[in-house]
Structure 1
Amino acid sequence: MQSSASYTIGIDFGSDSVRALLVDTRTGEEAATGVAYYPRWKEGAYCDAANNRFRQHPLDYTESMTRAVRDALAEAPAGAGDRVVALAVDTTGSTPVAVDASGTPLALLPEFAENPNAMFILWKDHTALEEAAEINRACRAAETDYSIYEGGIYSSEWFWAKLLHVLREDQAVADAAHSWVEHCDWVPFLLSGGDDVAKMKRSRCAAGHKALWHPEWGGLPPESFLTGLDSRLAGLRDRLFTETYTSDEVAGALAADWAERLGLPAGIPVSVGAFDAHMGAVGGEIRPFYLSKVMGTSTCDILVAPQDAVSAGQSVRGICGQVDGSVIPGMLGLEAGQSAFGDVFAWFARLVAWPLENILATSDAIDAATRDRLIADTRSAIIPKLSDAAAALPISTDVLALDWFNGRRTPDADQALKGAITGLNLGSDAPRVFRALVEATCFGARRIVERFIEEGIPVEGLIGLGGVAKKSPFVMQTMADVMNRPIQVARSEQTCALGAAMFAAVSAGVYPDVSAAMAKMGGGFDAEYAPDADRAAVYEGLYQRYLELGEQVERITHGRREDAAPAQPHERAMPEGAIK
């Protein structure tokens, strides 16, 4: 390792903003951070929440990334920018976009600048429900089930469903789209001056978990399967990719123009990209059979296992995929998650804030400056105050909620499902309902753990990462009580960006592999929540009622929409000794 200080930069693209983290490769010290929010997204541009459409303009990414990196370097030690030896990027996913042959997103072309279909389709966009249902039917009817290593159920949140929906909806985009790329693949390609999409290095993480890629059938599903879905897919496979790469590999060298824009040395390695939770698991020092929970607007739950821990051909049903090297090269990465977590709390905060936005905002009883400050202060205090009030309440056996407000990701992806709240009466106030929503998200998290165990994958511990894990003791204690397991919380507030910085250090040759980078650059843990035995006993009964409520909602939903019903996972007895 180098004797003088060197730095890497991890760039983490979230749903609302991008973070740039400057990390000392010798110690893992987080030397500086820059955060920039997406301006168009913040204004709600190109989105239609009522119809589950969430799109992001590529300029939001490039402009915000530039500001975040520049801001981080401005607060860094003198000369630190000159000692940056590599950078890496993580993004949300699946967040694909249509591109031309040069790899340029269509929204960056004048004729498509305001067309949402030419923009990145954010992970939580659910406009492709019908296409996902068709893909599931096709996979079940095919001689080879191409969804088997993605949990056996394909989601509307993923690559093929989204692009097929856009190709059907927008002929102009369909005609102009030479290929499609994930956000985590496009940014490294852009930064390294790529101008031929055929030469783009594609992420193993993104391809394996979201695009039905697997070595068993030679990469992507065959042309016959794709054209059987829709003739519009004819020829696209050849314009996509065959090979994929893990994130310890170099995607390219930082181009001179981007080096100047960002204030970094030209020619430094840019790592192959990956999804945020997968790099976040590395930043949170994941270890085999520990479930790493990145807890933000949604959750993404990551587990790694040695290759020999899962027998050849074994598939873990109902999760979001199992991919060799998607987290740590040389190990199997398994992904699960919840489509809404923090978003559930944010929804309730918006609900109770309705009078602020629609009554107080138009009142002339006070001056405009005081009114605006009062609205802003109240809005920011809603969730903390609700958390304090809910924490002071006893566990209610009356109010019960279901967390599927944005559909269900795991187990058994089904984005047609909806949330529910039951047991309300005239005494059900906001803190009681909020507590039920928190409990529901924790029940959903427990169901994920149980699915891994049912499928023969032990869960030996839990690691909490992300904004909710760091900022909400109430949620974390409830999680520990519902799970009846202790939960460690990673010290870093920026584990996704930290994980990216670790991958950058490997691609620069500072460390020989990811495990060595984690050992030297990891920040450890600064909190642990232990379950309370009395509360855990009460939650055991409530959890069973949660499962019953879920069954009722599924029956109601699919009584209306039989075509959307997912394939049901096979029954499998829980192995002895699976809980360790």
Structure 2
Amino acid sequence: MAEDYVIGIDFGTDSVRALVVNAHNGNSVSSALREYPRWKAGKYCDPSSSQFRQHPLDYLESLEAAVNEALAGCPASVREQVRGISIDTTGSTPVAVDRNGQALAMHPAFAENPNAMFVLWKDHTANQEAVEINKLAKRWTTDYTRFVGGIYSSEWFWAKILHILRVDGQVAQEAFSWMEHCDWISAELTGDTDPLKMKRSRCAAGHKALWHPDFDGLPSEDFLVALDPLLAGIRSRLFAETSTADQPLGTISRQWAKRLGLPDNVVIGVGAFDAHMGAVGAMIEPYALCKVIGTSTCDMLIAPNEEVGHLLVKGICGQVDGSIVPGMLGMEAGQSAFGDIYAWFAKLVISPVSALLGEDQAAELEKRLIAYLSDQALLLPVTENDPVTVDWLNGRRTPDANHMLKGAILGLDLGSDSAKIFKSLVESTAFGSKSIVERFKKEGIPIHEVIAIGGVARKSGYVMQVLSDVLNVPIKVAAADQACALGAAMFASVAAGVHKSLPEAQAAMGSGFDMVYHPRPDVVPVYQKLYGKYIQAGNFIENEFLVSQLIPEITN
């Protein structure tokens, strides 16, 4: 049998990883990770206003370095036997492009302009635009939000585009079209970046851009102009058709073949979002909830169209035919912050140490803090009187997106030490996960099992145990430590024709599971009662928010 290799490239929030995989047995030959240098330096971001932008050069430079490093770790013959490359990215992470599909930030005039860069998934500067989209959608003759849970999010395509157009006239004038990161970077590798001709990811379009066949593609021109005249004409410069990730996008350009030292016939697949390809790498099956757990979470679920295609699941991040596995209805939910909440608490503890004792002391503490707090929290009893935290520190993604909501910690007293507070934070992220599971069940979508992937899933046994306790189901952790990149490699093998279908690729390349967490019977009923308090606290916070929003309207 010929040796065929594929490369899965996974663009995360902080770094990109390239994974070289044997397409016939799934063996990982080599991998490499590169952090984004400008992002790491904190450039173009303002957390206080929830602005998070990434420069296209971070993506291009890091991709080249990671792929070359990964290939350098392989036998020399592997380079000539690479058949395909597929890419996953964060999303919705769109960018303004010129007529040729070049990101505006690549032009000297926009090189330092954050509005001309990629608007990262976690950027919430478009909260107001999301509110306006939702209000218009509810009174329009066609509800364009009905396939995305009935609520449009500030983390998504149209809200971000409209916000940039409103705040930056120069970008608005020069932007011919807009591209998701997964579309742009994949097209870059082919050298064919014409925004009017290139294939667009169904995953990105269906979940974030309100694309659906029932709408003949994107929302109508009349709807977009009614939302804001600044959107006039953009629809015709975007796309009407979409492609699933098992399809080829094109072949690698001569320039990129030379930069990566690869043959000029390497097939580049259609891109998709990281969580969706990660679910494929984790061997997702119908009615198995796959949780991609990192700084935030994405919860992926697939089901046969003929069984659930008639349902409209409220409050999730969309249901799209073929967005995860071609031929299956793909559903997405998730939490806006998970690991980020633990990182916030660690920073809260460490910042005074850094200021008072120096960075060296703080750095040493940072290495050990989360593991120490996890060990201490595990020793604590679980009681009905424990503090309860609401996990909306970065707003709420699902169920029922609202990124203007805030988190809270309730039930503190003078005995509440750092371990107790950390325990409450971990429990809150598990309660947020449970609210998603309960929504799926309420809407008629059964969940037969839970699969977990991502950094938190593999590194924090305490967090995963609490999650199993709160959900009251076993949780299987995928053996692949880079499930997203592996999923991308599986798609690359199909796009390049090594495998005939995605199920065939999964059967050949999958690596199974290496850990299972089981709920502890003694704490399950206690967590059920604490979850009730979490729901009550969340309802109170949301009601207070609604009142605060209503008062200005009454006053005016």
Scaled by the length of structure 2, the TM-score of the pair is: 0.98
Q: Does the 8 Å contact 1:130/1:564 carry over to 2?
A: no
Deviations 1:188-212 (A, max 9, x none): 1100001422112100000000000
Contact (CA 8 Å) 2:23, 2:509: kept in 1 or not? yes
Q: Secondary structure of 1:359's partner?
A: helix
By how many angstroms is 1:341 displaced?
A: 0.4
Determine if the alignment matches structure 1 residue 345 to structure 2 residue 342.
Answer: yes
Q: Secondary structure at 1:353's aligned position in 2?
A: helix
The corresponding residue for 1:299 is 297
- SS of the aligned residue for 2:522 comes to helix
| Overall identity of the aligned pairs, in % | 56
Residue 318 of structure 1 aligns with an amino acid whose one-letter code is G
Superposed CA deviations along residues 52-110 of structure 1, whole A, max 9, x for unmatched, are 00000000000111111111111123321211110000000000000001000000000
C-alpha displacement of 1:262: 1.6
Q: CA deviation at 1:311?
A: 4.2
- Report deviation, 1:399: 1.0
Rounded to whole Å, the distance in 1 between the matches of 2:516 and 2:456 is 14
Where do 1:135-534 residues align within 5 Å? 135-312=133-310, 314-361=311-358, 372=360, 374-396=361-383, 397-534=385-522
Give the SS at the match of 2:34.
Answer: strand
The alpha carbon displacement at 1:376 in A equals 2.1
Mapped to 2, the partners of 1:296 and 1:340 lie a distance apart of 9
Look up the match of 1:366.
none
Q: Give the structure 2 partner of residue 539 of structure 1.
A: 527
C-alpha change, 1:563 and 1:97, in structure 2 (3 Å) is: farther
What are the superposed Cα offsets for residues 457-498 of structure 1, whole Å, 9 maximum, x if unpaired?
A: 010100000000000000000000000100000001100000
Q: Secondary structure of the residue that 1:198 maps to in structure 2?
A: coil
Q: Given that residues 402 and 550 in structure 1 are in contact (C-alpha distance below 8 angstroms), is that contact kept between their aligned partners in structure 2?
A: yes
- The answer as to whether partners of 2:377 and 2:422 remain within 8 angstroms in 1 is yes
Aligned amino acid, residue 556 of structure 1: E
Which residue identity lines up with residue 368 of structure 2 in the other structure? A
Q: Are the aligned partners of 1:167 and 1:173 in contact in 2 as well (CA < 8 Å)?
A: yes
Selected match of 2:545 from 543, 554, 557: 557
Counterpart AA for 1:380: K
Distance 1:204 1:515, change over 3 A: same
State the Cα distance separating 1:563 from its structure 2 match.
Answer: 10
For residues 525 and 438 of structure 2, what CA distance do their matches in structure 1 show? 17
The amino acid of 1:322's aligned partner reads Q
CA distance in 1 between partners of 2:549 and 2:123 (Å): 19
Instruction: Report the residue type matching 1:307 in the other structure.
Output: N
**What's the CA shift for 1:393?**
1.0
Amino acid at match of 2:24: R
Offset, 1:564: 12
User: What RMSD, in angstroms, separates the aligned Cα atoms of the two structures?
Assistant: 1.2
Show structure 1 runs of 5+ residues with no match: 362-370, 566-580
Map residues 49-60 of structure 1 onto 2, 5 A cutoff: 49-60=47-58
Equivalent-residue separation in structure 2 for 1:384 and 1:259 (angstroms): 43
Tell me, in whole angstroms, the C-alpha distance in 2 between the residues paired with 1:562 and 1:207.
33
- The code of the aligned residue for 1:333 comes to G
Q: State the Cα deviation string for residues 347-375 of structure 1 (Å, max 9, x = none).
A: 000000012321112xxxxxxxxx63x33
**Equivalents in 2 of 1:338, 1:548: separation in Å?**
19
Note the 1:64-103 alignment, pairs <5 A.
64-103=62-101
User: Conserved in 2, the CA contact under 8 Å of 1:16 and 1:42?
Assistant: yes
The one-letter code matched in structure 2 to 1:409 is: R
Residue type matched to 2:419 in 1? P
Instruction: Provide the rounded CA distance (Å) in 2 between the counterparts of 1:81 and 1:404.
Output: 46
CA distance in 1, matches of 2:367, 2:254: 42
Offset of 1:4 from its aligned partner?
2.2
The amino acid across from 1:130 in the alignment is Q
Determine helix, strand or coil for the equivalent of 2:43.
coil
Letter in 1 for 2:457: A
Structure 1 CA distance for aligned equivalents of residues 70 and 439 of structure 2: 41
Rounded Cα–Cα distance in structure 2 between residues aligned with 1:441 and 1:310: 28
User: CA distance change for structure 1 residues 29 and 564 in 2, over 3 Å: closer, same or farther?
Assistant: farther
How far, CA to CA, are the matches of 2:283 and 2:454 in structure 1? 13
CA distance in 1, matches of 2:551, 2:510: 46
In structure 2, runs of 5+ residues without a counterpart are none
Residue identity in the other structure for 2:522: D
CA gap 1:168/1:387 in 2 versus in 1, 3 angstroms: same
Tell me how far apart the structure 1 counterparts of residues 268 and 46 of structure 2 sit (CA, whole Å): 34
In structure 1, C-alpha distance between the alignment counterparts of 2:316 and 2:275, rounded to whole Å = 15
Which residue type is aligned with residue 489 of structure 1? V
Task: Report the Cα offset of residue 510 of structure 1.
Answer: 1.0
- Partners of 2:552 and 2:475 lie apart in 1 by 35
Query: Could you tell me which residue of structure 2 aligns to residue 125 of structure 1?
Result: 123
One-letter code of the match for 2:253?
A: A
8 A Cα contact 2:97 2:177, kept in partner: yes
Query: Kindly tell me: are residues 221 and 563 of structure 1, through their superposed partners in 2, closer, same or farther at Cα, counting changes over 3 Å?
Result: farther
Q: Do the aligned residues in 1 keep the contact of 2:309 with 2:329 (CA within 8 Å)?
A: no
Contact 1:558 1:564 in 2 (8 A): no
